């Protein structure tokens, strides 16, 4: 009986002491702290902390930046129209179209990214310029890209809304207004390209419908008959190559 009590006691002690010993011997994980003591804040530390917070904020809104400040908007709209015009429903899937649009955006925006890297990122990493100067330099290439594809009419809408005085040059245009106007311009351009894409497929649907009507096959859906012909036409003209190449050329 005594031996049983002794075994139970050893078991309890092992259950209590072993986790504590393992915790005591475990390596200490460094703690990341973003706190500043009151009255003892170094301006350099405050600046570094603000830069970290700014970078975290940029990462959180990165999808919105991708959608509104690059070529992604126009590309994804055109892809949607081509799928609707062909009548293939969910083929290609949305994930495939979005992935292709992202890679095309990376290719189209490569010159802009290269300029930002050479004029802003690398000098900042080499500590030749401060963070504010790097941010100012990084805005120049992306603003030039957006100005190139933004209509003045779309930009004037937001000045009419905000009642702000009209700028005398491009440097006076706030980036927020430029992004909003650029997005509207991209929507209009995407819908214009989508309309042009619809025309040949619409003509093919009308031809098939007329043939079926002349043959007295009014109960047969024309879309079901025209779908294979639209896919065949798209394959014969190498549609994806033609579409992707034409989209890229619209940003040149």
- Is residue 221 over pLDDT 80? no
Is residue 225 assigned to a domain? no
Is residue 176 assigned to a domain? yes
Is residue 172 assigned to a domain? yes
Tokens for 130, please give them: 């401060």
- Is residue 239 over pLDDT 70? yes
Nearest by Cα to 164 from 184, 143, 155, 180:
155
Range of the domain at 82: 61-197
Is residue 73 assigned to a domain? yes
Q: List pLDDT tens digits, range 60-94.
A: 777 777 778 888 888 888 888 888 888 777 778 88
Q: Report, in angstroms and rounded to the nearest whole number, the Rg of the chain calculated over CA atoms.
A: 30
| Cβ atoms 218, 239 nearer than 8 A | no
Q: What is the mean pLDDT of the chain?
A: 75
Is residue 156 assigned to a domain? yes
Is residue 224 assigned to a domain? no
How far apart CA 189 and CA 187 sit, in angstroms, is: 5
Between the two ends of the chain, the Cα-to-Cα distance in Å is 91
Residue 169 CB contacts under 8 Å (≥ 6 apart), including other chains:
none
Is residue 69 assigned to a domain? yes
Give the pLDDT of residue 166.
79
Is residue 74 assigned to a domain? yes
Q: What is the pTM of this model?
A: 0.69
Q: How many domains does the chain have?
A: 1
């Amino acid at each position: 009986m005594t031996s049983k009590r002794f075994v139970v006691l050893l078991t309890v002690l092992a259950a209590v002491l072993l986790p504590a010993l393992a915790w005591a011997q475990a390596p200490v994980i460094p703690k990341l702290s973003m706190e500043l003591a009151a009255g003892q804040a170094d301006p350099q530390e405050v600046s570094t902390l603000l830069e970290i917070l700014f970078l975290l904020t940029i990462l959180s809104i990165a999808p919105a930046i991708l959608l509104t400040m690059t070529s992604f908007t126009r590309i994804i709209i055109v892809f949607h129209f081509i799928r609707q015009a062909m009548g293939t429903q969910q083929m290609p899937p949305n994930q495939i179209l979005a992935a292709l649009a992202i890679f095309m955006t990376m290719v189209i925006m490569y010159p802009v990214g290269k300029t930002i890297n050479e004029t802003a990122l690398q000098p900042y990493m080499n500590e030749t310029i401060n963070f504010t100067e790097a941010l100012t330099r990084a805005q120049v290439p992306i603003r030039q890209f957006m100005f190139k594809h933004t209509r003045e009419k779309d930009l004037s809408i937001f000045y009419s809304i905000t009642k702000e005085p009209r700028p005398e040059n491009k440097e006076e245009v706030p980036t927020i207004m430029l992004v909003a106007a650029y997005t509207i311009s991209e929507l209009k351009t995407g819908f214009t390209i989508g309309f042009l894409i619809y025309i040949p497929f619409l003509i093919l649907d009308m031809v098939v419908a007329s043939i079926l009507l002349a043959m007295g096959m009014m109960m047969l859906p024309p879309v079901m008959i025209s779908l294979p012909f639209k896919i065949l036409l798209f394959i014969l003209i190498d549609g994806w190559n033609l579409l992707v190449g034409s989209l890229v050329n619209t940003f040149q």
